[in-house]
Structure 1
Amino acid sequence: METRRIGIIMHGVTGRMGMNQHLIRSVLAIREQGGIALKDGSMLVPDPIIVGRNANKIEALAKKHNVERWTTDLDAALANPDDTIFFDAASTQLRPTLLRKAIEAGKHVYSEKPVSEGLAEAIDIARFAKQSGVKNGIVHDKLDLPGLRKLKRLRDSGFFGKILSVRGEFGYWVFEGDWMPAQRPSWNYRAADGGGIVSDMLCHWRYVLDNVVAPVKAVSCHAVTHITDRWDEAGEHYTADADDAAYATFELEGGIVAHINSSWAVRVRRDDLVTFQIDGTHGSAVAGLHTCFSQQRVNTPKPVWNPDEPQAMNFYEDWEEVPDNMIFDNGFKVQWEQFLRHVVEDGPWNYTLEEGAKGVQLAELGYQSSKERRWLDVPKLEI
């Protein structure tokens, strides 16, 4: 079978997310399976080059995972015409500059989110990519999680009837770093370094709500810094000034109300680190990362409020698990395959940098709403 090579410049993949989800479980996994089957019968095989500042770190990463090419010279990598895609998973603060440089070099660009720290910059880079005619994309990985795909399947089938509301819970306890090492990098909690859960998570909730439920029309958000004393990777104390929790309510098209709590200062007592519940006139469903449970109108129990006696009903027993009915691949890998097909044979692709700008827009409005303590409409972007 004929194979076709596609060169991918991968920047910022020494971090946890970039390394595990993008390099190992997506690009290298595609390579190990023999590539992607194209319409002409050939197999498209990615050939990555790892780019970073720390030569020792990227060389060790390349050797460990049998990646033949690595470099600390980004300009030289961008100058190589044999590599057609640039991917970035490094600092949000540097991302717009790096994407612009890659686009100017004629590369198609694929990027982690958020695409930038501010909306004006996000619109600018999305517009530049569009005007330059390069294929471009932003990661929307949660849409391909099994739990959310099942939730969308229920919506598309009409299971819910009229959707009334959405409730989301995201987060876990991130240790402060003194007696127990923190499981997130310290920059997440410093505003000057681009930290903050609003900027990190509201861009996710934008595409989840837009695609799984209904488009977002307005937002009311309260951002909080619950824990101010933290310790960094070197064990040094610092004062955290970025928001570590956000309590956001959204108005969606059709009069749907959605509320999502996001927190790195919460202890988990639910099915997963993130759960979404949709309630409708004909049924309800709750999804985590992988599982989804539903309850139809005819199977809904009839509890009666009685504070004088212990609750005798086990409400978990009245929900039925939605079956897989198919094999679900890694969500990041699924979108990599979609983007590669989009680049090579113009396959369908909806998750452009313009969609990334919508996420930045919602995060920016979330911060403004929290500061001004009021609801804000989400205007349509013109790019």
Structure 2
Amino acid sequence: MGTQRVGIIMNGVTGRMGTNQHLIRSILAIREEGGVILPNGDVIMPDPILVGRNEKKLQALAEKHHIERWSTDLDQCLANPDDQIYFDAQTTVHRTESVKKAIAAGKHIYCEKPTSTSLEGSLELAKLAKEAGVKNGVVQDKLFLPGLQKLKRLIDSGFFGQILSVRMEFGYWVFEGDWQEGQRPSWNYRKEDGGGMIVDMFAHWRYVLDNLFGNVTAVSCLATTHIPNRVDEQGNEYKCTADDAAYATFELEGGIIAQVNSSWAVRVNRDDLLTIQVDGTEGSAVAGLRDCKAQHRINTPKPVWNPDIENPFNFTEQWSEVPNNQIFDNGFKVQWELFLKHVVADGPFPWDLLEGAKGTQLSDLGIQSWQERRWIEVPELKL
């Protein structure tokens, strides 16, 4: 049994998501477990170098987690042939140029989404990677959540019969930053910095809908900025120039209708921050981030509308939990392991930069639908 070191240039991991999900819970967790084991018994051992613009943050993060390598010089890191993978978790406005540099340096690419601020930019990255012959992937973490894995299990078993509709509710109240500090960075609410609900979340909804239910074929979207002013990390009030809520309807292949509400100005009265209800001819299910409950047609109650009497049904008790039946690992870590196997052993990895471009496409078309107040068809993307 041999060990194969894989050097990873990790750019932008001083942010919340990059630090927690990609560095600590993925790469460092893989290292602590002894690496990724291949079918032949060989082991992939990731070796990260942390890259960013803030020297103090990088040094503190590296020292805290006993990481020997860090740098503020991306070009120098890309010039090192011993590091095969470039990972990007920067804000979207900085991602495109850095990924281009990494492709030109012959690095395999793994990055967060959106992959660019426009469809043209995302398609350019996919084309460049294909022409350079480098392997590439995009983070599509929600597919690996326990709740969605259980939902996929129901779909694959034929539990729903014919799927009719999907209803997704996402969001929570993000504090304005005046009397309580906001839970999201202020750039999320500035369009000029790449912020906005549509730009942030439609990339997620595209891969969730495409992979679970069917390709998105059309979109109708209305977005708004519910909270016009917020207070940033320095205590300064600023004007919100990006949408903080989006209300969309999607048409999917096979006639499925998906209604998706996304808001950072909503208080949660549901089981989780994200819930997905699927209704079919034979049964229904509601999935959250970790749990999933189902109701078959034989267990479906028969209510009759009557406002003159107390409701005789406790609807929430009439659903059954879908059991775990397996151990669910961190979704980001699972996808990292698959990408490492893809790079080293040519394992399957369908979530490439072209798939990432589909997310940017849906964001662009969602914004167009909102601006023009009409349905927009979603054409097939090809390189």
Is the pair's TM-score, using the shorter chain for normalization, greater than 0.5? yes
Structure 2 match to 1:329: 329
What is the letter of the counterpart of residue 250 of structure 2?
A: F
Partner of 1:267: 267
* Equivalent residue runs for 1:281-300 within 5 Å: 281-300=281-300
What's the counterpart of residue 32 of structure 2? 32
What count of residue pairs does the alignment treat as equivalent? 383
Partner of 1:234: 234
Deviations 1:230-263 (A, max 9, x none): 1000111111120000000000011100000000
Aligned-pair CA distance for 1:313: 1.1
Q: Matched residues in 1 for 2:179 and 2:190: separation?
A: 20
Corresponding residue for residue 77 of structure 1: 77
Q: Residue by residue, what CA displacement relative to the aligned partner does 1:173-210 show, whole Å, maximum 9, x if unpaired?
A: 00000000000000100111111000000010000000
> In structure 1, how many angstroms separate the alpha carbons of the residues matched to 2:72 and 2:178?
34
TM-score, structure 2 normalization: 0.99
Given that residues 4 and 43 in structure 1 are in contact (C-alpha distance below 8 angstroms), is that contact kept between their aligned partners in structure 2?
A: yes
> Does structure 1 residue 369 correspond to structure 2 residue 372?
no
Counterparts of 1:269 and 1:237, CA distance in 2: 29
Partner of 2:311: 311
Shift of 1:308: 1.0
CA distance in 1, matches of 2:222, 2:49: 42
The answer to whether the 8 Å contact 1:152/1:213 transfers is no
Shift of 1:91: 1.7
Question: In structure 2, what is the Cα distance between the partners aligned to 1:229 and 1:7?
Answer: 43
Deviation string, structure 1 residues 331-378 (Cα, Å, up to 9, x no partner): 000000000000000000000000000000000000000000000110
Q: In structure 1, how many angstroms separate the alpha carbons of the residues matched to 2:88 and 2:102?
A: 10
RMSD over aligned Cα atoms: 0.7
In structure 2, how many angstroms separate the alpha carbons of the residues matched to 1:284 and 1:315?
Answer: 13
Deviation at 1:96, TM superposition (A): 1.1
Task: Report the Cα distance in structure 1 between the residues aligned to 2:119 and 2:19, rounded to whole angstroms.
Answer: 27
Give the conservation status (yes or no) of the 8 Å contact 1:31–1:46: yes
Secondary structure, counterpart of 2:272 in structure 1: coil
1:138 aligns to what?
138
Query: 1:100-155 CA deviation, whole Å, 9 max, x = no partner?
Result: 10010010010000000100111111111011100000000000000001111111
Moved over 2 A (4+): none
Question: Offset at 1:59?
Answer: 0.7
Residue 119 of structure 1 aligns to which amino acid in structure 2?
L
Alpha-carbon distance in structure 2 between the residues aligned to 1:310 and 1:89: 52
Match of 2:379 in 1: 379
Distance 1:244 1:132 in 2: 38
Which SS does the other structure have where 2:327 is aligned?
Answer: coil
Once residues 44 and 194 of structure 1 are traced to their aligned partners in structure 2, the CA distance between those partners, rounded to angstroms, is 35
1:278 aligns with 2:278: yes
Q: TM-score, normalised by structure 1?
A: 0.99
